[in-house]
Structure formats: C-alpha cells, structure tokens
Structure 1
C-alpha cells in the first residue's frame, strides 16, 4: 500500500535524478531506496523513471506524478502546521495570497474586517498569481488576489474590477505635467515588473502597447513594484502602475494619467472549486461590499 514515505522518497529521487544523492539526502542506504521506488512503480503500474548509466530521467508519467506528489506533501505539511496553530489559538487558519499592487487599496480593510467578524487566524502571503494557484491547490492559502488569469480546472477566478493604469515618472520629467498618450509613452524607457516566469504583470504592460501597434522600450525589468519606483526616482525610466499604487508617497515620483481611460488592469480573485465554508462566505461578502464601494467612488 502506498504511504507518504513513498511520495517523499519519490520526490527526493525526482529532484536529484540520482539514487545515490537522493539516498544521502534522505539519510538512508541506496538499496532500500531503490526497492521503495520499484515498489511504488509496481503499485501504480507505470514506469516513473528511465534508467541510464549516469542517472535517471523522469518519464512523462513520472513528471505528472511528481507535480501532484509535491502538492500532496505540501498540503500534508500545511495541514499539520495549521492544526498546530488551531490547537494553540483555538482559531481556524485562513490564508490569503496577494500581489503587492493590490495592497494599497481596499485589501487591508478586508483583512481587518475579516479578523473582526470571524474566528479566523488570518495569515498573509505575498505571492505572484501563478504561485497563488499552486498555494491554493496545496491548501496553503484559501483565497488569492492577483492580476493574471490562468486557466486551471481546480481553481475558479473572477474579476473583481478593472483598475485604471497610471504612469509613474520622476517629478521633474518634461511630461510630468500632462496627460500621456500610449504613443508618447512608447518613446520613453520603460521599467517593467516583475521579472521571471510568464504570465505576469509585465506581460499585461507589453500587451497594452502591442494592442496599440507599439513597441516597448524596456530599460530594465525588476522583481517588485518598490524597486521599479526606486528606479523611476533615479530617472532610469518610467513605469506603468495600477491606480492603487498612487497611495504610495514619494517626494520624487508623480503619477500621471493616461489619455485613454480604457487602459486598465484587472484585480482577480482566485479560489478553490469547492463549497464555501462560513469564513469564505464572510470574506466573499466583505470583498463584494468593498468592490462596490470602490466602483461607486470611482464613478462619483
């Protein structure tokens, strides 16, 4: 019968692709590890590894099993950790993942009200949207707030609202006192964020130019919005940012409006496809109320 140790052994071998190294990592001898992997393959009825003289490679079935085995082990680890938290605090753990650019709007109000109105231990995780989906499936978080739509059969995503985009530029920039067109913006060196795996917010920005038949002059790509604004302050370029970011106060950076008001970025809520518990229902109701408030403030 398959046990958690089989998954741990398999994941260690999948990471190392070498039985000797994996055995050292697991602090066991190589022959028992080889037997455990063989037993796992026999129980599943598929070959997980192709054996070569100099090591191993994962078969397509092995690749698939590895992705899901990691999620299972992660969920077990999170469940144990959360169980300990519940025992210590008497509260239910509710994890929220978020991208930094949503933190400057209504998000802190949601967290505060959720803590006030439920018996929840709210844990916050700064995660990119793709990482939020992995965290949702692993049980690390219960809800994610991001900006990228990623099709996943286990996750439901809904657009909360479309947020206008602004241009962050140095306060002494010659164009800082006017409303900008995309054509004017395309002539300026652009600082994009975040760097790393697509899809991400940088892709949204590049797509905005592409839809207008324009190219982007990328000066630099950085990991986060704070670094992007620091480079703007250093006059190394300009950055497209969601409107909520203008709540950040910097003496050397101003936020300039775009002439085209249809240029926006979505704020997307991600959840697991499962029935809502009481805390999720409360969180959803608070989110809906805050979104309606934001929409009415924008239209007034």
Structure 2
C-alpha cells in the first residue's frame, strides 16, 4: 500500500463520486476505479457500497477514512517540519520519556533545549523498552524511563531514586496515614500501564510479590491520568513515583509509605560508543545541573 492509494481513497470518500474525484486528482476515472478496487483487495474489505445513486462508505470504509486522514495529516506535518528544518539548518534531537518522569525536571530540560536556535526537538511518549528500540533505530537520542535493561548498544545512567507513594481516594481509611505495603494490599489496586509490558506495572507488582503479599487488581489503565481518575472514582488505590504528586486532582490524596527503601529510579538511556554531538553535550550539561538540584533538595 502506498500513500497515493490513501490519498485517492480520501478524495473518493469525500466526493462519493468517481468522476468528480478523478477530476480533482487530474486523472481519468478507469485507473482511479482500479486503484480503489486494489486497495479494497489489499485491505480485505469493501470500503464503498456501489449503487445506482453512486457511492456510499461502508462502516469499514468510515473507519478506514478516519485513520487514513490521520496518517496523511501526520505525513504532511512531518514533511513540512522537515522542510522547515532544512531551511533553518536546525538539528533534530529526539527525547523519549515515560509519563511519570514528565512531572519533575524533564520539562525544564525541554524548555532549555528549545531556547537554542539550532535545535528542533522531537518528544515521544515511550516505555523504557520502546526507548531502547528507538535509540538503536536512531529515532530518538535520549530516553528517560524507570527500567534497567541490559543491551550492548545502549548505556543507562541512574539519575536518582525517588520514593514511591500511594494515591488513594479522599476519605479513604489510609488517606491520613503512612501505610505499609501490607496495609495497601488489603485494598483493590489500579495498575498502570496495562500495555505494553514490562513496565512500571510490573515494578509495582514486584514490590508486593517480593514481600509475599497478594494483591487484587481491580482495573488496569494505559494512561497515568486514567489511573488517577479511577482512584478518584474509588475503584482502588495505585502506586506512583513521587513526581506524580505534582498532579493535583480532586478526589485524590498522595501518601508516603512506611516501608523503607521503596523507590523507583529515573534512568537516562543513550546510545553507547557515540561521540556526543554538540546538542548532546548541551543536553548533558543541562541535565547535570537539574539532577544536582534534585539530589540537593533544591527541587522537590
């Protein structure tokens, strides 16, 4: 399947008339009809209903149209951004991150890098496993996650460890306490992210498992915000890194835990063996200051 097939399809879906669509595309009708038929064969479904009054999108066609438009918009935006970079001589620098690290100092790194005239930043929300793959493929240059992964092509640096907290509903019996994991295990757990794994969800389950505690997972969520909304709805409690307490949400209280040593690392991943580019050197210098501020308590 080529992009032109998606463009042809979207024009036909908008016009619902092959003659009018062919005129817009500056082509004759028979080749356009063949292209649409070939697309349907490749997809394995009828995208249009063909009747005496013309064309009509099938439910499958409506679904395909929504996603085809998104793909084309993304491609067009990427091409335009690439052209802007070429004109401005800016260097692309990609950063991958898990959502739970974006409530701390990472936004300050992004802010400082964006102020540099020669940098075009690309941000991607990725699990740590996905970050490793993206680093090796050259899609990002630096990743921020929480899992230690052994890969010969990637180096990982633990920037700091931060305490694990519990997010509980307001009015919960543990809301005004400093509970233990054993106490938390008595209540339903909201787990995130549900997919892809392994992830923070597995780290959370591991904390209970290593202490011989069994938990009841009431609900799994893919997004941190969804997990917090479920907690506010009193579906259960969830464990979060300390940075997340900056997310102020009605119906939620964050409490520290009584168990010692319950922390989650913030890990920076980079490609191994590469001489750092000027942009990477600048990012490392900014990161060093931010991490020192965190370790010294100047940034909670």
| Residue 276 (structure 1) aligned with residue 260 (structure 2) | no
- Which residue does 1:258 correspond to in 2? 257
CA RMSD of aligned residues (A): 2.3
- For 2:269 and 2:90, locate their aligned partners in 1 and report how far apart those are by CA, in whole Å: 23
Cα offsets for 1:25-66 (capped at 9, x unmatched): 8x9xxxxxxxxxxxxxxxxxxxxxxxxxxxxxxxxxxxxxxx
Given that 2:293 and 2:299 are in contact with CA atoms closer than 8 Å, whether structure 1 keeps it comes out as no
- For 2:157 and 2:215, locate their aligned partners in 1 and report how far apart those are by CA, in whole Å: 29
Unpaired runs of 5+ residues, structure 1, are: 1-23, 28-78
- Report the CA distance between 1:95 and its aligned residue: 0.7
Would the alpha carbon gap of residues 289 and 298 (structure 1) be closer, same or farther in structure 2, given more than 3 Å must change? closer
Which aligned pairs between 1:36-51 and structure 2 lie closer than 5 A? Answer: none
Which aligned pairs between 1:99-118 and structure 2 lie closer than 5 A? Answer: 99-117=98-116
- For 1:299 and 1:210, locate their aligned partners in 2 and report how far apart those are by CA, in whole Å: 32
- For 1:299 and 1:233, locate their aligned partners in 2 and report how far apart those are by CA, in whole Å: 27
- Report the CA distance between 1:220 and its aligned residue: 1.3
Given that 1:82 and 1:93 are in contact with CA atoms closer than 8 Å, whether structure 2 keeps it comes out as no
| Residue 297 (structure 1) aligned with residue 297 (structure 2) | yes
- Report the CA distance between 1:156 and its aligned residue: 0.9
**Aligned residues, how many?**
226
- Which residue does 2:87 correspond to in 1? 88
- Report the CA distance between 1:133 and its aligned residue: 1.3
Cα offsets for 1:197-255 (capped at 9, x unmatched): 43210010011111212122211111011110000010000000010000011121010
- Report the CA distance between 1:85 and its aligned residue: 4.5
Given that 2:127 and 2:196 are in contact with CA atoms closer than 8 Å, whether structure 1 keeps it comes out as no
Which aligned pairs between 1:195-214 and structure 2 lie closer than 5 A? Answer: 195-214=194-213
Would the alpha carbon gap of residues 258 and 154 (structure 1) be closer, same or farther in structure 2, given more than 3 Å must change? same
SS at match of 1:169: strand
Unpaired runs of 5+ residues, structure 2, are: 1-37, 42-77
- For 1:114 and 1:197, locate their aligned partners in 2 and report how far apart those are by CA, in whole Å: 29
Given that 1:164 and 1:261 are in contact with CA atoms closer than 8 Å, whether structure 2 keeps it comes out as no
| Residue 133 (structure 1) aligned with residue 132 (structure 2) | yes
Runs of 4+ in structure 1 over 3 Å off = 79-85
Which aligned pairs between 1:46-61 and structure 2 lie closer than 5 A? Answer: none
- For 1:121 and 1:106, locate their aligned partners in 2 and report how far apart those are by CA, in whole Å: 20
Give TM-score, length-normalised by structure 1. Answer: 0.71
Give TM-score, length-normalised by structure 2. Answer: 0.71
- Report the CA distance between 1:115 and its aligned residue: 2.0
Larger radius of gyration: 2
- Report the CA distance between 1:84 and its aligned residue: 3.7
- Report the CA distance between 1:110 and its aligned residue: 0.6
SS at match of 1:297: coil
- Which residue does 1:20 correspond to in 2? none
Would the alpha carbon gap of residues 246 and 155 (structure 1) be closer, same or farther in structure 2, given more than 3 Å must change? same
Which aligned pairs between 1:16-55 and structure 2 lie closer than 5 A? Answer: none
Which aligned pairs between 1:215-254 and structure 2 lie closer than 5 A? Answer: 215-254=214-253
SS at match of 1:286: helix
Would the alpha carbon gap of residues 208 and 298 (structure 1) be closer, same or farther in structure 2, given more than 3 Å must change? farther
- For 2:221 and 2:231, locate their aligned partners in 1 and report how far apart those are by CA, in whole Å: 12
Given that 1:118 and 1:279 are in contact with CA atoms closer than 8 Å, whether structure 2 keeps it comes out as no
- Report the CA distance between 1:81 and its aligned residue: 8.7
